[in-house]
Amino acid sequence: MQDSQTSETTQKAIEETIVSGILSARIRPGTRLSENQLATLFGVSRTRVREAMMRLETRGIVHVSPRRGWFVVEPSAEEAIAVYEARRVIEAGLLRSMRVLTGAGREALDAHLNEEKSAMTAGDRQRLTYLMGDFHIRIAELSGNAIIVDILRDLTARTILISMLYQSEFHAAQSHDGHCRIFQAMQASDFGRAAELAVEHLDEVEMGLDLTARPDPLSELRSSLSLPPRSVSSTIGPKKP
């Protein structure tokens, strides 16, 4: 990254720092993001930090609790399900829409799968988390469609937050196998099959979650008092904490 431009770059830098921190599992869900601290850290005023937070909120990455602070989102079980559902829809649709796997695309995915493998043997879990998410972004990049890439990057970030909350064990080998199978189908130009495999793969990962586990520990009490469930908030809709 270049540091020459001061203006315009900083807000995006804050955004990307946080997103990439999540993508590589260095930032946990629920992490507090203090406007003042970030401002000091990046050497800017709160104004710019707030702008970055607003953008990240729109992207479903952080949320604000009024006058309490900004926090990295902790997706509820319902939200987690919605994220996986959205990914299945989009990734399956994407693969099914593909017609060819170019040579460059084949090489990119092949190189990526090799990286996954070496990270597995090295036991580098943080890097592995990053790579496991990045595989799906790489596939999106093959389409050359920046819109879809952006959407899937944000959904992947949310997925990683979900994993940190609900995933007890990390079945890296299983995920890697899933990726390899998808790649094989793509190499065979059987994109319908690749789409099916992607859905299965995401199902597998979702099934590996314990969605009764962490957040909303009040759910039992809540239901026994027959209060409304935690809102499956839209990325836009008003939050009521």
Partner DNA sequence: GCTTTCTGTCTTGTATGCAAGATAGCCAGA
Partner DNA sequence: TCTGGCTATCTTGCATACAAGACAGAAAGC
Q: Which does 70 bind (CB under 5 to 8 A by kind): DNA, a copy of itself, none?
A: DNA
CB count, 10 Å around CB of 229? Answer: 12
Nearest to 159 by CA among 184, 192, 134, 122: 134
Q: Are 84 and 206 in contact (CB under 8 A)?
A: yes
Sheet with 32-33, strands from edge to edge, namely 32-33, 69-72, 62-65
Q: Are 160 and 87 in contact (CB under 8 A)?
A: no
> With respect to a copy of itself, which residue has the nearer C-beta, 59 or 179?
59
Question: Of 2, 4, 8, 240, which lies in the binding site for DNA, with binding defined by CB under 7 A?
Answer: 8
Residues in contact with a copy of itself, shown as a per-residue x/- string from 60 to 99 under the rule CB under 8 A: x-----x---------------xx-xx-xxxxxxx-xx--
- What is the Cα–Cα distance from 202 to 239, expressed in whole angstroms? 28
Burial of 60 (0-12, 13-18, 19+ CB in 10 A): buried
Closest approach, Cβ 160 to a copy of itself, in A, equals 16
Q: Which does 6 bind (CB under 5 to 8 A by kind): a copy of itself, DNA, none?
A: DNA
> With respect to DNA, which residue has the nearer C-beta, 41 or 89?
41
Closest approach, Cβ 45 to DNA, in A, equals 3
> With respect to DNA, which residue has the nearer C-beta, 38 or 92?
38
Interface size with DNA, residues (CB under 7 A): 22
Q: How far is CA 122 from the centre of its chain?
A: 23
Q: How far is CA 111 from CA 37, 114, 231, in A?
A: 38, 5, 41
Residues in contact with DNA, shown as a per-residue x/- string from 40 to 79 under the rule CB under 7 A: ----xxxxx-x-------------x-xxxxx---------
Q: Are 97 and 89 in contact (CB under 8 A)?
A: no
What are phi and psi for residue 25, nearest 5 degrees? Answer: 60, 25
> With respect to a copy of itself, which residue has the nearer C-beta, 38 or 155?
155
Residue 145 touches a copy of itself, criterion: CB under 8 A: yes
Residues in contact with a copy of itself, shown as a per-residue x/- string from 26 to 55 under the rule CB under 8 A: ------------------------xx--xx
Question: Of 12, 26, 34, 223, which lies in the binding site for DNA, with binding defined by CB under 7 A?
Answer: 34
Task: Give the residues lining the site for DNA (CB under 7 A).
Answer: 6-8, 10-11, 33-37, 44-48, 50, 64, 66-70
